[in-house]
Structure 1
Amino acid sequence: MQKFLKYIIPISIPLIVLLMPLSAFPFEGLTIVQQRVIAIFLLAALCWVFEPIPIYATSVVIIVLELLLVSNKGLYLFRLSEGQPHFGQLLSYNEIMATFASPIIMLFLGGFFLAMAATKYRLDVNLARVLLKPFGTDPKYVMLGLMLITGIFSMFMSNTATTAMMLSILTPVIAVFGPKDPGRIAFALCIPVAANIGGMGTPIGTPPNAIALKYLVGDNYISFGEWMAFGVPFVVVMMALAWMLINFLFSADQKKIELSIKGKFLKTPKAIMVYVTFALTIVLWLMGSSHGMNSYTVALIPVAIFSLTGIINKEDLKKISWDVLWLVSGGIALGLALDKTGLAKLVVHSIPFDAFSPYAVLFGAAFLCLVMANFMSHTATANLLMPIMAALGTSMASLAPLGGEITLILVVTFAASLGMSLPISTPPNALAHATGHVKSNQMAKVGVILGVVGVLLSFVLVWLLHAVGHVG
């Protein structure tokens, strides 16, 4: 019966939604196109939860269904009512297809090339030997070391690139554990968690932070240093909580890790090319846009160099986790549909924020953002909610004692980055899931707890700093 429900629920509920009249939905002005997106969204969510098919296959289904049902080059049968008042706006087919070659996919590809080259020329093993040596042999402290290194890197460079790099270092560490040791789960999970949390420490750590800064102007202006004044303490506390939570849920059976990582840095011409390219890529990522390139452009530099020099050959290309790229593409396509059809905006505007107390508005907005960020791009979520939160913060005088607009924007910004309950929620999660050591339900258990606690903690921290005059 359970196996039957695993297949029937993800299919039946979206079909029911498609057949319902528009008047049955609680959203005023809902269009036929938006109704179809709701059905696709539910199908995706249920398939990712129940996993009747591989999660990468769900992502491919999302893209194909969007092309068939809500694109301007879909089946003619589904475009018969185009132009009618309640039909809505179709998406451009090339925008949907472009999700397969989104800049974030290129960033992934660059990360994969770095990881493959590092493994092939033992750079990952040697980095593990050097970086983890100060943290001793106790598994929980070795994991702490991995989390700290990941968190610091994520403050200044792409979370995805950091995760790809750290997971390559992680490979020899996980090999020490037995096949059924929970330590494998803990170590594979700690990297994306640390990357997601670390990105909140600086304005450039993650895109939602930069989006928030666009609305923190005038009296609400926050400098780079002021952001770090509350961002870094938040990261430190959340990192400590995450470390304790992962240790509690997935405590390693093995009480000591003998990291007898032997070897030395290779000195062949190709190995030196890998070291130089690896270092150059990281430096360029750390330098941000000061050189005129964004992280996506930088990510293609190792792809070109390693391909040109033969460091990565056609046999190596077969080892790339293409399923992960498809998984992320589906998430991007889902966010695109929610955004471009106006469905996400319609849902947000359907909630009467001004009818609630300021506390209800703060927590309601933050938790709404947290839920949305688990199913769509953090950047898209922040882009969608931030203008609404800025207007809401300005218009609600009752928010002033709690920090007003600045508190609302910052709490929602942090909530956007705390959406990390599913493999699709963030690229770091997808990369960790691709290792095969972490299951979706294990990721959800940690992600939900940290998300809820993080939202509450961000409110308390921002309010305290506002009270002592550090922000706002």
Structure 2
Amino acid sequence: MADTRSGNDPAEGPAAARRSRSQRVGLWLGPLLFLLMLLLDLDPGRPEVTRMAALALLMATWWITDAIPLFATALLPLFLFPLLGIERTGDTAPIYFNSTIVLFLGGFMIALTMEKWDVHRRIALWVIRSVGGGPARIVLGFMLAAAFLSMWISNTAAAIMMLPVGLAVILRMEEQFGRDRTRAFSVSIMLGIAYACSAGGIATLVGTPPNLSLQRIFQITFPDAPPIAFGPWFVMALPISAMMLAIAWGLITRVFFRVPEEVTVDREVVESEMRKLGAIAFEERAILGVFAATAFLWVFRAPIVIGPLTVPGWSTLLPYGHLIDDGTVAITMASILFLIPTRSPGAKSRTVMGPGVALRLPWNIVLLFGGGFALAHGFQTTGLARFIGDGFSGLATVPPLLLILVICLAMTFLTELTSNTATTEMVLPIFAAVAVSTGVHPLLLMIPATLSASCAFMMPVATPPNAVVFGSDRVRIAEMARVGLVLNLFGAVVITLIFRALGPLLFGIEPGVLPDWARPGP
């Protein structure tokens, strides 16, 4: 669900407290670029454009280099907006908490409750056991389980949860056939888990933070536009997620790491893990029920329009349905878990979701979201967005399909070395301005950029799942980079083609037509 990278935490130990060379450079380069930008006059007569550009450059430098924790950089608008004459802190502060944050928190509360009662582990083992078969099918089972879990819970947590199960299978194989003969299978399992966690998060709005960033930044930039709802996004992104999962599985098991036929998998490992969980408890059934209901309510809340076909949304049947959004559903269903009493002996809380869940919520990501939203708001209020867009007006002659492909490739490789959440929040306001300037639908550029931010597969630092499996000591950087490079290229093509086919139908995108709600005012 979330990319929980937020910079180094000194509390993690002495090694974590020491800044790398790039962090030290970024720490001083950011303020230097900030001051140099203030000396310029980008838009005569409108000094706030230059000041906002200076702040954006400072935040971008610190986010890219991870000079200070990402969430700390996200706090800069709260005190620099008033100091630079952009906006009062009292007007900026509410931007940090909104319906998108409510959606994120509600979804995360449900996910943490699933982890608390090991529901996610049971789902994963059930999927792996159901797929079964030889080594390639076992890898597919791990990937399907990881992808499904990552649609709803943190992709980091999904990878951490899947890792010990994968290692248990690998260790049993190594005992039977030796480490050298099972090398291909070991790498397949590890890479399969990492790539599936990233691909699975694409499918839902709550699957990964860049998706939620898009939802809110789009609403901030174009307040009169129809909001991006869970259902249309799911219909559009699920095929992309499934295609990336299939390609990753094929590349891993059929091209790069073919497992010898004589190496067979001992299914007893999975069965043993299932037996450890015991019979399904009342609390688990309750969580599964709430989880299933939440997914259904999210997908079918708003009408889903696919060309001439319209699937009506349930919220349209209610007297005040227009006031309900996906955040309403998330927080309502999470609250229900506070009302269901526990029945298992020895339970540490009286209800299925205990009070401790609030302490485990990723508030650093909430602040990172808020900083990105404030940045997008500043781009709009100061006129910096229009200024940047005018500078890219020459792109109006570039074919949309080629423009989308270039954006996908740029975002994919950029996020190999930077936080995908921070990068997305930096570039989305720019892509929105470019779209307006070139006369194309803003989502034609913003959605592919967002999807591509989650498709970085080459480097261990690219995504938390990559880092988790790299720490298993079963994958070399060269192996991850070799498969990841090919998968990155496939990802850019898949996103371009599938979005180009489904995006216009689901989001009302007319090629070459700028919607009225996106047209700049006088």
In structure 2, how many angstroms separate the alpha carbons of the residues matched to 1:460 and 1:433? 27
The residue number in structure 2 matching 1:266 is: 280
Return the TM-score normalized by structure 1. Answer: 0.63
Work out whether 1:6 is the aligned partner of 2:22: yes
* Structure 2 equivalent of residue 349 of structure 1: 390
Match of 2:201, as an amino acid? A
2:314 to 283, 291, 301: 291
Q: What's the TM-score once normalised by structure 2's chain length? A: 0.58
Return the alpha-carbon distance in structure 2 between the equivalents of residues 111 and 162 of structure 1.
Answer: 10
Asked if the contact 2:256–2:483 (Cα under 8 Å) also holds between the matched residues in 1, the reply is no
Pair 1:279-2:292 in alignment = yes
Give the structure 2 partner of residue 363 of structure 1: 402
CA drift at 1:249? 12
Cα 1:129–1:3 shift into 2, 3 Å: closer
- Matches for 1:452-471 after TM superposition, within 5 Å: 453-456=490-493
Residue 105 in 1 paired to residue 144 in 2? Answer: no
Cross-structure match for 1:129: 125
Compared CA separation, residues 318 and 234, structure 1 to 2 (3 A)? closer
Task: Determine the structure 1 residue equivalent to 2:454.
Answer: 420
**Quick check: 13-22 or 163-172, which moved more?**
163-172
Counterpart among 15, 25, 31 of residue 15 in structure 1: 31
Map Cα deviations across residues 172-196 of structure 1 (whole Å, 9 max, x no partner).
Answer: 4321244997655652442232332
Inter-partner Cα distance in structure 1 for 2:104 and 2:481: 22
**Superimposed CA distance per residue, residues 11-68 of structure 1 (whole angstroms, 9 cap, x where no aligned partner):** 232222222266757x555954444444444444444443344xxx3222322x2122
Note if 1:51 corresponds to 2:57.
no
Measure, in 2, the Cα distance between the counterparts of 1:142 and 1:388: 49
* Structure 1 spans left out of the alignment, 5+ residues: 80-89, 154-159, 200-204, 215-223, 393-404, 424-428, 466-470
Post-superposition CA distance 1:87-108 (Å, at most 9, x none):
xxx2353453235423332222
Greater shift after overlay, 90-99 or 362-371? Answer: 362-371
Contact 2:213 2:373 in 1 (8 A): no
Q: Hey, what does 1:218 align to over in structure 2?
A: none
Report the AA paired with residue 288 of structure 2.
Y
Separation in 2, partners of 1:450, 1:335 = 31
Partner of 2:226: none
User: Take 2:381 and 2:485, find their aligned partners in 1: how far apart are those partners?
Assistant: 28
Whole-Å separation in 2 of the counterparts to 1:449 and 1:95 = 46
* 2-structure distance, mates of 1:413, 1:113: 26
Structure 1's 24 and 37: CA in aligned 2 closer, same or farther, altered over 3 A? closer
CA 1:189 to 1:33, structure 2 compared with 1: closer, same or farther past 3 Å? farther
The answer for the alignment partner of 1:395 in structure 2 is none
Which residue identity lines up with residue 192 of structure 1 in the other structure? S
2:164 corresponding residue in structure 1: 175
Instruction: Indicate the SS of the match to 2:165.
Output: coil
Give 2:307's aligned residue: none
8 Å Cα contact 1:197-1:239 kept in structure 2: no
| Contact persistence 1:382–1:413 (CA under 8 A) | no
Pairwise CA RMSD of aligned residues? 5.2
Q: Give deviations 1:140-171, integer Å, cap 9, x for gaps.
A: 645544655787x7xxxxxx982417776665
Deviation of residue 131 (structure 1)?
2.4
Cα offset, 1:454, TM superposition: 4.1
* Partner deviation per Cα, 1:326-359 (whole Å, 9 max, x = no partner): 34333333333334433233222202426x8534
Within 5 Å, which residues of 2 pair with 1:53-68? 53=68, 57-63=69-75, 65-68=76-79
> Following the alignment from structure 1 to structure 2, what is the Cα–Cα distance between the partners of residues 444 and 339?
38
Shift, 1:368, TM fit: 4.9
> In structure 1, how many angstroms separate the alpha carbons of the residues matched to 2:150 and 2:21?
38
Instruction: Indicate whether 1:164 and 2:177 are aligned.
Output: no
Q: Secondary structure at the match of 1:306?
A: helix
Residues 141 and 314 of structure 1, relative CA distance in 2, 3 Å threshold: same
Q: Residue 50 and residue 346 in structure 1: after superposition, are their counterparts in 2 closer, same or farther (change >3 A)?
A: same
- Tell me which of 355, 361, 367 is aligned to 1:320: 361
Partner SS state of residue 66, structure 1: helix
Query: 1:457 Cα deviation (Å)?
Result: 5.0
Q: Match for 1:59: what amino acid?
A: F
Distance in 2 (CA, whole Å) between partners of 1:454 and 1:335 is 27
Q: Does 1:336 pair with 2:377?
A: yes
Gaps of 5+ in 2: 1-17, 171-185, 206-210, 223-230, 303-312, 316-323, 341-350, 471-476, 503-509, 512-522
Cα–Cα, structure 1 residues 51 and 126, in superposed 2: closer, same or farther, change >3 Å? same
One-letter identity of the residue aligned with 2:21: L
Amino acid at match of 1:358: V
2:200 aligned residue (175, 185, 194) = 194
Contact 1:107 1:295 in 2 (8 A): yes
Equivalent-residue separation in structure 1 for 2:481 and 2:51 (angstroms):
27
Distance 1:171 1:329 in 2: 27
Supply the distance in 2 between the matched residues of 1:92 and 1:437 (Cα, whole angstroms).
41
Aligned partners of 1:150 and 1:194 also within 8 Å: yes
- Aligned residue for 1:376? 424
- Partner deviation per Cα, 1:346-405 (whole Å, 9 max, x = no partner): 222202426x8534x75346535864995234875675455445x25xxxxxxxxxxxx8
Q: Is the 8 A contact 2:155 2:198 kept in 1?
A: no
Task: Name the CA shift for 1:248/1:297 in 2 (closer, same or farther; >3 Å).
Answer: farther
Q: Distance in 2 between matches of 1:454 and 1:100?
A: 32
CA distance 1:460–1:291, shift in 2 (3 Å): closer
**Does the aligned pair in 1 maintain the 2:30–2:57 contact within 8 Å?**
yes
Assess if the C-alpha contact under 8 Å between 1:366 and 1:415 holds in 2: no
Asked if the contact 1:34/1:343 (under 8 Å) is kept, the reply is yes
Q: Give 1:298 shift.
A: 0.9
1: CA distance, partners of 2:135 / 2:58: 39
**Partner SS for 1:437:** helix
AA of the residue aligned to 1:322: W
Between the aligned partners of 1:277 and 1:117, the Cα distance in structure 2 is 11
The answer to whether the Cα contact below 8 Å between 1:62 and 1:330 also exists between their aligned partners in 2 is: yes
Give 1:300 deviation, angstroms.
0.5
Shift of 1:209: 10
**Compared with structure 1, are the counterparts of its residues 379 and 131 closer, same or farther at alpha carbon in structure 2 (3 Å cutoff)?**
farther
SS at match of 1:313: coil
1:300 corresponds to which residue? 331
CA contact (8 A) 1:277 1:302 kept: yes
Distance 1:116 1:291 in 2: 27
